[in-house]
Amino acid sequence: MDKNSITGLLIIAVMIIGYSIYTQPSQEEREKALIEQAAKDSLLSETQVSPEKVQEVIAPSNEEIVLDSADQAINDSKMTSLFGDLVLATNGVEEDIILENDHYKAIVSTKGGLLKSLLLKGYQTYDSMPLIMFDQNKSLQNLVFDYPGFGRINFTDLYFTPNKSEINISGESSDKLVLSLKGRQNGQELKLTYALIGNAYDLKLSISSTGFNGFDNFNTIPLKMDWKMTGLKKEKYLPWERNVSTLFFKYHDESRDWLSETKDDETILEQNTDWVAFKQNYFSVILFSDKGFVANESNLAVVSYPAEEELYVKDFLAVLRLPAAEEGKIELNYFFGPNKMQLLSKYENEVPKIINYGWSFIGWINRNIILHIFDFFYGLGWGIGFAIIILTVIIKTLLAPLMLKNYKSSAKMRVLKPEVDKINKKFEGKDNTQKQQAVMALYRETGVNPLSGCLPMLFQMPVLYAMFRFFPSNITLRGESFLWADDLSSYDSIYNLGFNIPLYGDHISLFTLMMAATTMAYTYMSSGNMPETNQPGMPNMKVMMYIFPVMMIFFFNNYSSGLTFYYFLSTLISILQMWIIKVYFIDEEKILSTLQANKAKPKKQSKFQAKLAEMAKQQQQKKK
């Protein structure tokens, strides 16, 4: 039924708007989470040997100090008390080692031996700047362990010696960077080995330790990684980028999980964890361990909003206990790259599900059907607009039988409207129960099911929501232009207002206006014979139907223009289908004669109808 169609659309709109409002963090929640995060950072720093403490031992003031042999001996003794056999590695010169392949350019520091920054090749930010996944100014990676008899040791306090000053490879080529440091005694060595392939987004890291009493091979002494990363702004619309960026993780025997996307959140990783991902809208940094990060009450996963409002997306923090060494090594693997299904699918283990294509069945539809259809037509090279148009036509064609069934049901209700009006007039001012019984009797006699138009609409609702998730999550739309839209992954703007309107924005999106206009036209065509609701306290359905397109203007103004173009085109096709059905498939006079003929046929009351009649009879008896 047309009324059911509009009701279904209203339900979707209410669900989407309600979800957006519900998940928006309050100012109090954000301030509280930031305070908690500051306290956590403070606690982390207190458990480590800070650079300031090391500096205090090395040089207690900013003045140049010349130590005599006795003072030097005292100083060496203090450093040895902090670092033991690692003391020789506390002096050195920091150098940056470049690891470059076809897809990224990473910088590893000899001070700490860990990643400082990474630039992703082949992509740019919305404003045509290099796409930096993380940099040393807002990110810090550190390995930490407790050295028996000496205390907490930070890799960031140690200097490593590299075997190469730079690596630059491509294609199938592979190479390794080895960073090592020697202990005070022969045979003592701590080594970090980075292995990369020319055409891969991966970077493998192995950690080994030999000859050091107390933490040889890290079999009995746990090695922890503290990694704090601030995601830099990469997309056109920062609020949206923030609302789809968060930290994902996967426990070994469970499905992947994630922290809140719309407010500050944290959790303790209490189970063995296969991987952790710092996921932004279209790009992710993922850290894997084949043996899994060991469950521990100190393992943390934190995501929060940064203080800088215009430059950064989210603050990510992961504190992970690494597995024990196997065959003398701890093996880790990084992924730095775009959130593309074909790339993430090779990792399996639910890694592709960090792309939010929707929950449960909706996500399955998008990943296994919609994505393949879209990629096929986009791969023909005829442009992104062509791919969206063909996808829309295919979907609307598949849904056409449901629309036909829905419209036929509406036509039956429409031709019976005069008789329903007579019943309403007959029982006007009388008991509503009797009126309902009379209407149900009419439907039973004519063979009309008033609910038959609802089922087709219920089948269409998952598709509507699937598209709502598909277009904003698909990286293929990123940076792709079509007509006046310069980036289909974000909003299209034909005019910048120069000021912000609450709930609307600071620009005018033309695709959104076109979508709202076609929805208004579709509403007008489908609601011509809908009776107005005049019951006290009940909203007028016709008024509600016309409010919906206006709501869409506000709600979708900042959404992906690929999505609003799809909805515009889909509604336009619905209007065409409605006209074709009305002209070529619906003969209301024939339908009426069929219904009248049904009255003469003997009717067997269904269990559902019998139940309704019994309920109405009981209700009537109670009133007596």
Query: How far is the first Cα of the chain from the last one, in angstroms, to the nearest whole number?
Result: 36
Cα within 13 Å of Cα(404), Cβ side: 13
Q: How large is the C-alpha radius of gyration of the chain?
A: 33
In a domain, 21, yes or no: no
Instruction: Say if residue 391 is in the same domain as residue 468.
Output: yes
For the chain, the domain total comes to 2
Is residue 544 domain-shared with residue 479, that is, in the same domain? Answer: yes
pLDDT higher than threshold 90 for residue 18: no
Same domain, 435 and 560: yes
Same domain, yes or no: 341 and 440: no
pLDDT digits (tens, 9 = 90+) for 349-394: 999 999 999 988 899 999 999 999 999 999 999 999 999 999 999 9
For residues 328 and 473, membership in a common domain is answered with no
Structural domain harbouring 595? 364-609
Helix 2-23 vs helix 510-526: crossing angle, to nearest 10: 150
- Collapsing DSSP to helix, strand or coil, 79 comes out as helix
| In a shared domain, residues 343 and 471 | no
For strands 189-197 and 115-124, give the pairing.
Answer: unpaired
Query: What is the DSSP annotation of 86-126?
Result: GGGGGS----EEEEE-SSEEEEEETBTSSEEEEEEEEEE-T
DSSP 492: -
In a shared domain, residues 329 and 448: no
Q: 592 lies in a domain?
A: yes
- Among residues of the chain, what percentage have pLDDT more than 90? 55
Averaged pLDDT, 435-461: 73
- Shared domain for 183 and 146, answered yes or no, is yes
Q: DSSP letters along 424-487, please?
A: HHHTTTS-HHHHHHHHHHHHHHHT--TTTTHHHHHHHHHHHHHHHHHHHH-GGGTT--BTTBS-
Whether 589 maps to a domain, the answer reads: yes
Which DSSP string do the residues of 557-622 spell out, in sequence order?
TTS-HHHHHHHHHHHHHHHHHHHHHHHHT--HHHHHHHHHHHHTS-----HHHHHHHHHHHHHHHH
Q: Are residues 339 and 450 in the same domain?
A: no
Q: What is residue 58's predicted lDDT score, i.e. its pLDDT?
A: 32
Same domain, 328 and 418: no
Mean pLDDT value across residues 152-178: 96
513 and 372 together in one domain: yes
pLDDT-based confidence at 216, cuts 50/70/90?
confident
Kindly report, residue by residue over 229-282, the tens digit of the pLDDT: 999 999 999 999 999 999 999 999 899 999 999 999 999 999 999 999 999 999
Residue 472 falls inside a structural domain: yes
Q: Has residue 92 been placed in a domain?
A: yes
75 and 177 share a domain? yes
Residue 590 predicted with pLDDT over 60:
yes
Nearest to 192 by CA among 211, 174, 177: 177
- Asked whether residue 194 is assigned to any structural domain, the reply reads yes
pLDDT at residue 60 greater than cutoff 80: no
Q: Is the residue at 443 inside a domain? A: yes
Burial profile 305-342: b = 16 or more Cβ within 10 angstroms, e = fewer: bbeeeeebbbbbbbbbbbbebeeebbbbbbbbbbbbbe
Residue 14, in any domain of the structure? no
Residue, of 339 and 463, whose pLDDT is higher: 339
